[in-house]
Amino acid sequence: MSERTGARAAARAAAIAMRIARPERRALIVAAGAAGALLLARPSRATPAAMTAAINAFTGGAVLREGRVKLDIPVLVENGNVVPVSVEVQSPMSAADHVTRIAVFNEKNPQPDVAIFELGPHSGSARVAFRMRMAESQRITAIARLSDGSYWTSAVDVIVTLAACLE
């Protein structure tokens, strides 16, 4: 047996011995990797309770009144990847009476607060528009805070046929 062949055989025997000597370590590494992959693969999502908590954090627990807010979003969404949303609030937008904040919340996307907009009397109109992704059918809620400290709301139940936010 030559030196070179002997060295290869010794290296191969050492590698096999290491595999046999440490099966627990290898199994532990494989198990930890699999558990981590499962956690990463599982999409997180908000819940109705999380949405309620986010709304309470936004309003400070104030009473929400219906009216003055118009939430414009399609009731039936064919593709959840791009959903147009607009919120308009009836307000003169004067120094004495204007909208200070508009927020949009959802029940089942990864985070319950979709968007929060800061406005003032110089904003011109109390209207915001944007596009969002929707994971599945859910309730979308818009809330406006006026300069007098009152909160106004509108909500729409949206049906999504092709979901987004799942990767």
| pLDDT tens digits along 143-167 | 999 999 999 999 999 999 987 755 5
Phi first, then psi, for residue 6 (nearest 5°) are -65, -40
The pLDDT, as a whole number, for residue 7 is: 66
pLDDT at position 76: 95
Contact between 111 and 157 under an 8 Å Cβ cutoff? The reply is no
Which single residue is written with the structure tokens 């440490």?
Answer: 22
Q: Show pLDDT as tens, one digit a residue, over the chain (167 residues).
A: 566 666 676 667 666 655 655 556 555 555 555 555 444 444 456 788 899 999 999 999 999 999 999 999 999 999 889 999 999 999 999 999 999 999 999 998 888 999 999 999 999 899 999 999 988 899 999 999 999 999 999 999 999 998 775 55
Rg over CA atoms, the chain: 28
Which 8-state DSSP code applies to residue 122?
Answer: G
Supply the pLDDT for residue 37.
Answer: 47
Question: DSSP secondary-structure letter at 1?
Answer: -
- CB 135 within 8 Å of CB 110: yes
Contact assessment for residue 154 and residue 70, using Cβ atoms and an 8 Å cutoff: yes
pLDDT of residue 45: 63
| Helix or strand run (H / E) with residue 88 | strand 83-89
Report the 3 state secondary structure along 44-73: CCCCHHHHHHHHHHHHCCCCEEECCEEEEC
pLDDT for 14: 63
